[in-house]
Amino acid sequence: MFSAALILSGPSIQKVLRLFSHIGISTIARQTFSKHQRLHVLPSIIQLWEKERNSRLEALAADEEVVLGGDGRADSPGHSAKYGAYTMMNLKTCKIVDVQLVQSNEVTSSSAMEKEGLVRSIASLRESGVSINTLVTDRHSQIRKWMKDKLADVHHKYDIWHISKSLNKKLKAAANLSNCASIKPWIQSITNHLYWCAISTPDGNAELKVAKWKSIASHIQNIHSGHDDLFPNCLHGPLVGRERKKKWMVPGKYLQLYIIITKAYTVLLFTVTLFDQFYFRKQGHSGPLAYNIKPQAVPRCENYERNISNIKIRSIPLNIESFRSKN
């Protein structure tokens, strides 16, 4: 039980044994823990994961409109990561259907681990008979190229959270420039508007999404009509009281904000082909594809097997919670 509790909770065995030694509590030896882990705990975790995964894949293989979301996460930031975990989730049920662990020495660099994890995950899913209709990822350049070259038949969409995050950073940088402090109160409204453009256009009309997005440049200047032929007027009613607490931007004064909204994002947001690829989950979206699971930095003697078991341990509660929220 002690060995299983250690693995399920995630602390380092060395730190726990050192703590018990300092306060004089007798416990098992490191060798005993390693034996329990190898012979009992890890095999049980893998068996449970495979059982749950197989049942989910059977249901997924029978679905003709499979929508999956994938994201990767490394065990440390920067370019020195040793492990990268790639997680694939069924966005209709919010259940994890596949996890892959990639070690940096298996690829050319740590930045290539995310793409390798995706490649392995898709190969594993296809071996199980799953036909992917839509795949939602971030804007990783290697993944975009690979999807275009190898999976042209799959609809590749981008998670809007990543677009919003990039936009938010640019707006905050602009707000720190001289004479641009008035941008700051509008940052959240502008990023919220980006989400609204996606969720308020369920038919995926890309031109309409673009027209809605461009309207924000006029709205923040207190111009609420004459935006575009497709979206001529703002849909909100009269703004009074607390709804009108932000100061209107002065037309032509904040060049940096204008550049961000109407020029710097021309390639990213105003092109129809990319804007059509925005994906907003109906269940709500409060963060990145939040099921991405971070691999732990564990001692070298435990490394790969311990890490893959940790990832699978944490994916099982996520699936249970998603089931509870729907029932």
Question: What pLDDT score was predicted for residue 263?
Answer: 47
- Which has the higher per-residue pLDDT, 88 or 258? 88
Are 180 and 257 contacting, i.e. CB atoms less than 8 angstroms apart? yes
Give percent of the chain above pLDDT 70: 76
Radius of gyration of the chain (CA): 24
Q: Mean pLDDT over residues 15-34, rounded?
A: 90
Residue 305 lies in a domain: yes
Residue 150 lies in a domain: no
Q: Are residues 261 and 308 in the same domain?
A: no
pLDDT digits (tens, 9 = 90+) for 114-161: 999 999 999 999 999 999 999 988 888 899 999 999 999 998 988 888
Question: What pLDDT score was predicted for residue 222?
Answer: 86
pLDDT digits (tens, 9 = 90+) for 173-227: 878 877 777 888 888 888 888 888 888 887 778 788 888 888 888 888 888 998 8
Residue 96 lies in a domain: yes
Residue 32 lies in a domain: no
Mean of all residue pLDDT scores within the chain: 78
Q: Are residues 230 and 309 in the same domain?
A: no
| Residues contacting residue 161 through CB under 8 Å, at least 6 positions apart | 285, 287, 288, 289
Q: Are residues 64 and 166 in the same domain?
A: no
Residue 170 lies in a domain: yes
Question: What pLDDT score was predicted for residue 299?
Answer: 38
Cα 126 from chain centroid? 22
Q: Are residues 259 and 184 in the same domain?
A: yes
Question: What pLDDT score was predicted for residue 264?
Answer: 42
Q: Are residues 207 and 109 in the same domain?
A: no
Q: Are residues 271 and 304 in the same domain?
A: no
Helix (H, G, I), strand (E, B) or coil at 133: strand
Nearest to 315 by CA among 121, 113, 40, 106: 121
**Tokens encoding 138:** 């971030």
**Tokens encoding 157:** 């969409």
What is the chain's percent helix, strand, coil content, to nearest 5? 55, 15, 35
Q: Print the domain residue range for 199.
A: 161-279
Specify the residue for token string 């740590």: 110
Q: Are residues 244 and 313 in the same domain?
A: no
Residue 148 lies in a domain: no
Q: Are residues 239 and 313 in the same domain?
A: no
Model confidence band, residue 232 (pLDDT cutoffs 50, 70, 90) = very high
Residue 241 lies in a domain: yes
Q: Are residues 134 and 208 in the same domain?
A: no
DSSP string computed for 25-87: -----HHHHHHHIIIIIHHHHHHHHHHHHHHHHHHHHT-SSEEEEEEEEESSSTT--SEEEEE
Return the amino acid letter for 311.
I
pLDDT digits (tens, 9 = 90+) for 246-298: 888 877 666 556 656 654 454 344 444 556 666 655 444 444 444 445 544 44
Q: Mean pLDDT over residues 166-178, rounded?
A: 82
Q: Are residues 83 and 129 in the same domain?
A: yes
Interior CA angle at 250 toward 248 and 251, to 5°? 120
Q: Mean pLDDT over residues 96-120, rounded?
A: 90
Residue 5 lies in a domain: no
The total of structural domains in the chain comes to 2
Q: Mean pLDDT over residues 102-109, rounded?
A: 88
Are 311 and 86 contacting, i.e. CB atoms less than 8 angstroms apart? no
| Residues contacting residue 113 through CB under 8 Å, at least 6 positions apart | 72, 74, 81, 83, 84, 86, 102, 103, 104, 106, 107
Distance CA 70, CA 100 (A): 11
What sign for the dihedral angle of Cα 298, 300, 304, 309? negative
Query: Helical H runs in 205-254?
Result: 206-219
**Tokens encoding 118:** 């995706």
Question: What pLDDT score was predicted for residue 300?
Answer: 38
Bridge partner residues of 20 (DSSP): none
pLDDT digits (tens, 9 = 90+) for 28-76: 898 998 898 888 888 888 888 888 888 889 989 998 889 999 988 887 7
Q: Is the pLDDT of residue 242 over 60?
A: yes
pTM of the model as a whole: 0.73
Q: Are residues 189 and 226 in the same domain?
A: yes
Q: Are residues 110 and 128 in the same domain?
A: yes
Q: Is the pLDDT of residue 107 over 50?
A: yes
